Structure 1
Amino acid sequence: MSPLESELIDWTVCTETSLALGPNFVRILGYFREDGTQSVRKIEEAMRAKDPVAMVNAAHNLKGESLQFGARRLSATAEMIELTARSCVEHHDTPDEVLELVAGLRPMFEETLAILEKDSSPLVERQRQPHKYGGLFG
């Protein structure tokens, strides 16, 4: 595991989720891809429109879904965006201070998702288990 992977993913949480979901893990991860992509797009659109109200729900959803898979950095970033957007709503302000976080959100989401999908690949799982006749690629 690379240092970047351990910074992005809490493998204990991810493993617990994988064990709990069993064979459904890959399907649920696919939903995370779809929903997360939508949430990131909505956050970016809200940033361009300077609309903190629209930003709150999308960031909240991304935070929760990220936590489910142990995507710690993505979840923390979404939480920071959500909390700042909520504050902006309360103070009738624009969410300008999260511009850098929003700008880095899509690459972080894509990198996190790539790690999760690579780790959950059935091919990766088969390569880890020794073949009944010896070797790793049964």
Structure 2
Amino acid sequence: MAHQDTELVNWSEFSRTRGELGAAFPRILGYFREDGVKSIIAVEEAFRARSAADLIRPAHTLKGESAQFGAYRLSVMAEEIEMVARRCVETRESPDELIEVVVAMRACFSETMALLDRDANPLAARRPGGFGRRVETPVQGFGRAI
């Protein structure tokens, strides 16, 4: 499958979006999380109902939002679901071939959000030693530069 070969997160895209959104970034990332969960639930429900037409909108939404945050693997998976669902609507087929992608999408979303949250957390960039801990420095001796 093509999505397995796609990078989980494109950090350049993530950084670009973070820079463009500035102080609004944490709030918008939260919206992405909420919308992503809703989209995944909608995709899973539509798949269970074998409704190709009902797969299209949540997959399309997830595709675009994921790409915006650099979540490329998730975006590729959503795009595959959307494209196959569109074809199935046109040919009046069941979207059964999507089972592996639909099942893998929730785990991919969770893994992606864990990485995005870790990188977006302002506390993640801590100084060595952390708050309240003394950082051990090597003994330099008087007048010596390291």
TM-score by length of 2: 0.82
| Structure-2 separation of matches of 1:124 and 1:22 | 17
Matched, 1:19 2:19: yes
| Structure-1 separation of matches of 2:99 and 2:54 | 15
Matched, 1:39 2:39: yes
1:25 Cα shift? 0.8
1:7 Cα shift? 2.3
1:27 Cα shift? 0.7
The runs of at least 4 consecutive aligned structure 1 residues that moved more than 3 Å come to 135-138
Matching residue of 1:119: 119
Higher helix share: 1
For 2:84, the aligned partner's letter is T
| Structure-2 separation of matches of 1:51 and 1:89 | 9
**Between the two proteins, what is the percent identity of the paired residues?**
48
Matched, 1:102 2:93: no
Could you report, residue by residue, the CA deviation over 1:108-134 in whole angstroms, capped at 9, with x for unpaired residues? 001101110111001013x1xx5xxxx
* Length, aligned pairs only: 126
| Structure-1 separation of matches of 2:67 and 2:61 | 10
**Greater radius of gyration (CA):** 2
- How much is the aligned-residue C-alpha RMSD, in angstroms? 1.4
